[in-house]
Amino acid sequence: MRKAAHLLQTGGLVVFPTETVYGLGADATNKTAVGNIFQAKGRPSDNPLIVHLSKIDQIKKWISEIPPLAEQLIKHFSPGPITYVMNHQGGFASNVTAGLSTVGIRIPEHPLALALLELADVPVAAPSANRSGRPSPTTANHVAEDLFGRVDMILDGGSSSVGVESTVVDVTGEIPLLLRPGGVTLEQLEAVVGGVLMDAGLTEKPRSPGMKYRHYAPKGEMWLVTGDGMVEKIQLISREKVAKGYRVGVLTTSENKGMYKGITTIACGSRMKPSSVAHGLYDALRKFDEMEVDFILSETFPEHGLYLSVMNRLNKAAEGKKIR
Ligand code: TXA
Ligand code: MG
């Protein structure tokens, strides 16, 4: 841990576990180090990074005016899977914020992440530790698949408990603006602040630059299957595709896994337990790549709670392709 902290302090790249996904960290005040994050990931430079801090009382060191709305949310949800977009006063390297007047701040809730942030005692800019466009990593093995040899150190903290990224919420206005659904659900936010606006990348010029890029994508062509008779539709289409010579994979849940005889299936969790589906989602997408599946049919979920975040990621992975 001391070596990892020293690497961060001296401009190195350290991958560390968080409760959401693994992060690719560098000192957020070191422009060269931050530039190396973009390079290692192959990330477009107009997509800003989140800054990670070890303690709530560190926020005021970097943000001079914390909006009351932010204070309220921080009290309820931090440390945790949530990122607050607030106005900054220029303390971070310019490439962290991609030139925006705002910055995303998060205090993760993972003992290794917190220990590292505390030891390093620098603000740590960290996007998810995947190559750009790949599913986010939820294990150190996923990280190694994408970034081995491109970073100075990978800390292995086992599998990330939440499994989808943090909720990104812009707190610069009167009403919170949800930019990316994540580990903290819309319903949880609403219970604290009443109304929440949504801009999860559906508009032409999304407020969160990252939402416009293809994301979380497996290599195979992926379609989401929705509506009545979902299982029957998947059975029919998968058989047709197999007959045409495709390697077909079905993304399913433990409840339905037995329904697709003779087809490659991956159950990412139990439909009755949204947290298990979120936890297993990215590993499942990566497994399809390993199996060299070239056509993926995915079950879908009702868009409430954590399933709103799961469906957001599935939609991106499938580039919005749906069979109704
Ligand atoms: O759970 C997480 O948030 C993980 C872990 C490592 O903390 N990090 C993560 O970072 O997912 P990244 O870079 O993969 O996603 C950050 C998202 C992007 O969509 C980015 O565009 C958005 O947050 N974002 C960052 N700063 C922003 C800002 N100032 N305004 C609007 N969106 C911002
Ligand atoms: Mg990412």
> Letter for the amino acid at 33?
A
**Segment 191-208 mean pLDDT:** 75
Q: Is the pLDDT of residue 263 over 80?
A: yes
Tokens describing residue 108: 């993760």
Ligand 1 atom closest to residue 24's alpha carbon, by position in its atom list: 6
**Segment 198-216 mean pLDDT:** 63
Question: Residue 191 contacts by C-beta under 8 Å, 6 or more apart in sequence?
Answer: none
- The least confident of 193-202, 242-251, 269-278, 314-323 is 193-202
pLDDT at 55: 98
Reported as a single tens digit per residue, the pLDDT across 288-299 is: 999 999 999 999
pLDDT at 24: 98
> Letter for the amino acid at 177?
L
Q: Is 304 annotated among the ligand-binding residues? A: no
Q: Is the pLDDT of residue 10 over 70?
A: yes
159 C-beta neighbours (distance < 10 Å), count: 17
Q: Which of 24, 43, 50, 177 to mutate to test the pocket of ligand 1 (most atoms within 8 A of CB)?
A: 50
- Calculate what percentage of the chain has a pLDDT beyond 70: 95
Q: Which residues surround ligand 2, an ion (CB under 5 A)?
A: 128
Q: What domains can be seen in the chain, in order of their start residue?
A: 2-198 (3.90.870.10), 221-323 (3.40.50.11030)
Ligand 1 midpoint to CA 46 (Å): 12
pLDDT at 204: 46
Phi, psi of 242 (to 5 degrees): -60, -40
β-bridge partners, 24: 15
Q: Is the pLDDT of residue 164 over 50?
A: yes
Question: Residue 145 contacts by C-beta under 8 Å, 6 or more apart in sequence?
Answer: 137, 286
List C-alpha distances in Å: 257 to 102, 225, 250, 313. Answer: 44, 15, 9, 21
Terminal CA-CA length for the chain: 50
Give the pLDDT band of residue 216 (cuts 50, 70, 90).
confident
pLDDT at 138: 98
Q: Is the pLDDT of residue 62 over 60?
A: yes
Reported as a single tens digit per residue, the pLDDT across 36-55 is: 999 999 999 999 999 999 99
State ipTM: 0.99
Ligand 1 atom closest to residue 22's alpha carbon, by position in its atom list: 6
